[in-house]
């Protein structure tokens, strides 16, 4: 019903624009015949307003993929760079949560693993809303940060890496079937900072899909049942993403060698020193305000990627 409501709203949005264009067209010819300069000036302002409205929304027309309308499970993992990378992972988490807020999407942190000194080792976030995956598919890959390290006594320049996974959340009629006999489920006590924050009961869950070796851990909730449910949701998404990659690999093999945006192949660099810049290495889009980008202003990169993908 949510998808139906969102699609209905989208149809109404474009139908209203179409009606406005037709009304302005008729009004223009009437005003031109009567040489009504005031009305002609108003029509020009309305055309500029409509043009801006269409420009802001037309990238949504590029969402034609099977999973583009789906919710997203976003996973961020710290890479090379030690505590700096763990801090970088937390910065990326904040960036995506801020973008989600700006876009009026719902968000929920499903699982998070704190860093040894600062930041986080990994986090899994669910972002819900129409075309959440369509937008966030551009973020899949390695993100690189260059800055003066706040954790280095010499305040030297450090390069940090984090890997972003973007998985479309499966619908209830899952395309991937899981045989329960092929699952290894381990239950253990959730870790924490110590004291009262450590669970006394075994509520954390680790599920291993034996045929593929995919492991999913969830310890964020206080209930064993809730953690298992969330872990299964993430496992379904990862298995479906794996099936998509296999299918895509078969298609790409017909076109020749393809370098995937996986670990070690950064898709975007965020430079805070010695100059300020964020550059997407696939589309070559550059902006000079990394602070604003890290505060969630990433729609420009998403739009650029959609056009780039269309060109491919």
Higher pLDDT, 73 or 247: 73
Per the structure, the count of domains in the chain is 3
pLDDT band at residue 171 under the 50/70/90 scheme: low
- Is 242 a member of any domain? yes
For residues 247 and 184, membership in a common domain is answered with yes
Q: Residue 24 has what pLDDT?
A: 92
Q: Which domain holds residue 29?
A: 2-62
β-bridge mates for residue 164, sequence order = 76, 141
| Whether residue 5 has pLDDT greater than 50 | yes
Residue 99 maps to a domain = yes
296 — pLDDT class (breaks 50, 70, 90): very high
Answer yes or no: is 67 within a domain. no
Domain identity same for 41 and 151: no
Percent of the chain with pLDDT over 90: 54
82-96, 120-134, 258-272, 278-292, range with the lowest pLDDT: 258-272
Query: Does residue 244 form part of some domain?
Result: yes
Q: Is position 284 within any domain? A: yes
When pLDDT is averaged across residues 16-42 and rounded to a whole number, the result is 90
End-of-domain residue from the set 19, 40, 62? 62
Q: Is residue 172 very low, low, confident or very high in pLDDT (cuts 50, 70, 90)?
A: low
Same-domain pairing of 166 and 307? yes
Last residue of a domain, one of 62, 88, 110: 62
Is the pLDDT score of 197 beyond 70?
A: no
Where residue 136 sits, what CATH number does that domain have?
3.30.70.1660
State the pLDDT at residue 191.
Answer: 67
Exposure class string for 234-272: b at 16+ Cβ within 10 A, else e: bbbbbbbbeebeeeeeeeeeeeeeeeebeeeebbbbbbb
R_g over Cα of the chain? 23
Amino acid 195: pLDDT:
38
CA angle 11, 170, 103 (to 5 degrees): 50
Considering the domain architecture, whether residues 95 and 157 belong to the same structural domain is answered as: yes
Residue with the bigger pLDDT between 179 and 310: it is: 179
Cα distance between residue 209 and residue 234, in whole Å = 12
Q: Where does the pLDDT of residue 193 fall: very low under 50, low under 70, confident under 90, or very high at 90 and above?
A: very low
Do 134 and 208 fall within a single domain?
A: no
* Domain harbouring 224, CATH code: 3.30.160.20
40, burial (CB in 10 Å: exposed 0-12, middle 13-18, buried 19+): middle
- Which of 58, 137, 127, 57 shows the shortest CA–CA distance to 93? 127
| Least confident piece of the model among 70-84, 87-101, 233-247 | 233-247
Indicate whether 56 belongs to any domain.
Answer: yes
- Inside any domain, residue 37: yes
Chain centroid offset of residue 75 CA: 9
**Same domain, residue pair 146 and 115:** yes
CA dihedral (308, 53, 295, 76) positive or negative = negative
> How much is the pLDDT for 261?
36
Residues 187 and 224 in one domain: yes
Residues 89 and 169 in one domain: yes
Same domain, 160 and 264: yes
- Are residue 245 and residue 274 in the same domain, yes or no? no
Residues 97, 197 share a domain: no
Taking the chain, what is the end-to-end CA distance rounded to the nearest angstrom? 34
Q: Across-strand partners of 286?
A: 279
Is the same domain home to 267 and 289? yes
* pLDDT at residue 288 is higher than 80: yes
């Amino acid at each position: 019903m949510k998808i139906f409501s969102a699609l209905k709203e989208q149809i109404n949005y474009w139908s209203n624009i179409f009606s406005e264009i037709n009304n302005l067209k008729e009004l223009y010819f009437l005003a031109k015949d009567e040489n009504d300069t005031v009305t002609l000036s108003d029509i020009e302002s309305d055309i500029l307003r409509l043009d801006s409205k269409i420009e802001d929304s037309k990238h949504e027309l590029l969402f034609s993929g099977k999973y583009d309308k789906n919710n997203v499970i976003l996973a961020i993992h710290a890479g090379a760079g030690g505590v700096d990378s763990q801090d970088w992972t937390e910065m990326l988490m904040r960036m995506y949560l801020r973008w989600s807020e700006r876009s009026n999407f719902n968000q929920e942190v499903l699982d998070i693993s704190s860093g040894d000194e600062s930041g986080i080792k990994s986090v899994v976030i669910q972002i819900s809303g129409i075309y959440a995956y369509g937008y966030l598919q551009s973020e899949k890959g390695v993100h690189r940060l260059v800055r003066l390290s706040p954790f280095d006594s010499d305040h030297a320049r450090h390069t940090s890496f984090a890997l972003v996974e973007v998985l479309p959340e499966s619908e209830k009629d899952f395309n991937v079937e899981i045989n329960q006999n092929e699952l290894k489920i381990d239950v253990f006590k959730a870790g924490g900072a110590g004291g009262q924050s450590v669970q006394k009961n075994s509520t954390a869950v680790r599920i291993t899909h034996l045929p593929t070796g995919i492991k999913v851990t969830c310890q964020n909730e206080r209930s064993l049942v809730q953690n298992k449910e969330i872990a299964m949701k993430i496992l379904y998404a990862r298995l479906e993403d794996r099936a998509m990659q296999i299918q895509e690999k078969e298609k790409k093999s017909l076109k020749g060698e393809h370098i995937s945006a996986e670990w070690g192949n950064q898709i975007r660099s965020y430079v805070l020193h010695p100059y300020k810049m964020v550059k997407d290495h696939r589309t070559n889009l550059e902006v000079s305000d990394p602070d604003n980008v890290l505060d969630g202003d990433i729609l420009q990169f998403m739009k650029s990627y959609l056009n780039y993908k269309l060109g491919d």
